[in-house]
Amino acid sequence: MFRTGPVTVEVPATSANLGPGFDAFGLALDLTDTVTAELVPGGLEIEAAGEGADAVPVDESHLIIRSMRSTFDRLGGQPAGLRLTSENRIPHGRGLGSSAAAIVAGVLLARALVRGGAEQFDDAEVLALASELEGHPDNVAACLLGGFTIAWTTDGRGRAVRSEPKGVHPVLFIATESSSTHTARAALPPSVPHPDAAFNAARSALLALALTQGRTELLMSATEDRLHQPYRAAAMPASSALVAELRRAGIPAVISGAGSSVLALVGDQDQVTPARAYTPQGWRSLALAIGEGAALTAS
């Protein structure tokens, strides 16, 4: 049933929400983790290097391993032994989709280690399982498909479409303090006022149009949000202050994912360097290209 491997996958960082598109919008970024898995006669070996390597567990609770286990279960059984190596470049707990990248890596690697895995478990199944493991589909959609994605859930299954953003140059401001997505989700109220829902419905539709048609002059209005950022602001004051400062300067900026990093969608390449001048002390900024979706690079 199994292939020994090794198999390797590149999985991109993602920025979710993009302001108004809470749990729906995602943007893949050209910053990737590289993860390799192979079957061994017995046991579990994990070797991690780079971002978060000292903090991740090296047992069955490791997120990539948990995602591989879930996938093997769907495909008919567990292998005798596993060896995993990862080169992590995506910072953890910074709103850059590191957990989504880990989950997508695990699902794709496990599928590739099963003979006929891709026939039994197609890409729609990968997205549905990865969304279930992550708890929301936006990051995993962008991680799998690349580009700008709109994700939704039907009958409990995550689904998504990809489109090509035009004329935007993402600049990431990576916070020094981490923020757990789980905690940031707990800060959200169970219901929101109807006018706020209407406010976001208009902005999210506008943002999809602005990104796909290259209407960068709409980005300031299109990135406004009342559904998640206001409720999370108190827990990440430095990030909220940076968003406000960038927006005062006319740069469309939002909290990346559940924070704590900030994403600016710069509409003019010449404005990338001036935007990076706003990087707070101790933070770092990266000007990144739009990313491609997860790809098996060796098998």
Ligand X SMILES: Nc1ncnc2c1ncn2[C@@H]1O[C@H](COP(=O)(O)OP(=O)(O)O)[C@@H](O)[C@H]1O
- The nearest distance, CB 228 to ligand LJ64HWYM, in angstroms, is 6
Q: Which residues pair with 29 in a beta bridge?
A: 13, 290
- The nearest distance, CB 136 to ligand LJ64HWYM, in angstroms, is 5
Residue type, position 177, single letter: E
- The nearest distance, CB 239 to ligand X, in angstroms, is 13
Residue 117 among known ligand-binding residues: no
Among 70, 228, 235, 291, binds ligand LJ64HWYM (CB under 6 A): 228
Using the minimum distance from each CB to ligand X, give the nearer residue, 50 or 250: 50
Residue type, position 29, single letter: L
What is the C-alpha to C-alpha distance for residues 140 and 105, in angstroms, rounded to an integer? 10
Among 92, 185, 215, 247, binds ligand LJ64HWYM (CB under 6 A): 185
Using the minimum distance from each CB to ligand X, give the nearer residue, 14 or 200: 14
Q: Which does 138 bind (CB under 5 to 8 A by kind): ligand LJ64HWYM, ligand X, none?
A: ligand LJ64HWYM
What is the C-alpha to C-alpha distance for residues 82 and 71, in angstroms, rounded to an integer? 14
Q: Which does 34 bind (CB under 5 to 8 A by kind): ligand X, ligand LJ64HWYM, none?
A: none
Using the minimum distance from each CB to ligand X, give the nearer residue, 49 or 201: 49
Residues 49-108 that bind ligand X (CB under 6 A): 52, 56, 62-64, 86, 88, 92-99, 102
Residue 94 among known ligand-binding residues: yes
Q: Please answer whether residues 127 and 144 qualify as being in contact, where contact means their C-beta atoms are separated by less than 8 angstroms.
A: yes
Q: Which two tokens stand for residue 37?
A: 């898995």
Q: What is the DSSP code (8-state) at residue 285?
A: E
Q: Which residues pair with 171 in a beta bridge?
A: 264, 287
Write each residue from 254 to 293 as x if it is in contact with ligand LJ64HWYM (CB under 6 A), else as -, in one continuous string.
---xx-----------------------------------
Phi, then psi, of 233 in degrees rounded to 5: -60, -40
Q: Which does 86 bind (CB under 5 to 8 A by kind): ligand X, ligand LJ64HWYM, none?
A: ligand X
What is the C-alpha to C-alpha distance for residues 288 and 230, in angstroms, rounded to an integer? 26
Q: Which two tokens stand for residue 233?
A: 């602001």
Strands (E), the chain: 7-17, 21-40, 43-50, 81-88, 148-154, 157-163, 169-174, 253-255, 262-266, 284-287, 295-298
Q: Which does 56 bind (CB under 5 to 8 A by kind): ligand X, ligand LJ64HWYM, none?
A: ligand X
Among 5, 12, 91, 97, binds ligand LJ64HWYM (CB under 6 A): 97
Q: What is the DSSP code (8-state) at residue 90?
A: S
Q: What is the DSSP code (8-state) at residue 235?
A: G
Residue 76 among known ligand-binding residues: no
Residue 95 among known ligand-binding residues: yes
DSSP states along 130-160: HHHHHSSSHHHHHHHHBSEEEEEEETTEEEE
User: Would you tell me which residues interact with ligand LJ64HWYM (CB under 6 A)?
Assistant: 16-17, 22-23, 95-97, 99, 136, 138-139, 181, 184-185, 228, 257-258
> Which residue numbers belong to the known binding site for ATP?
91-101
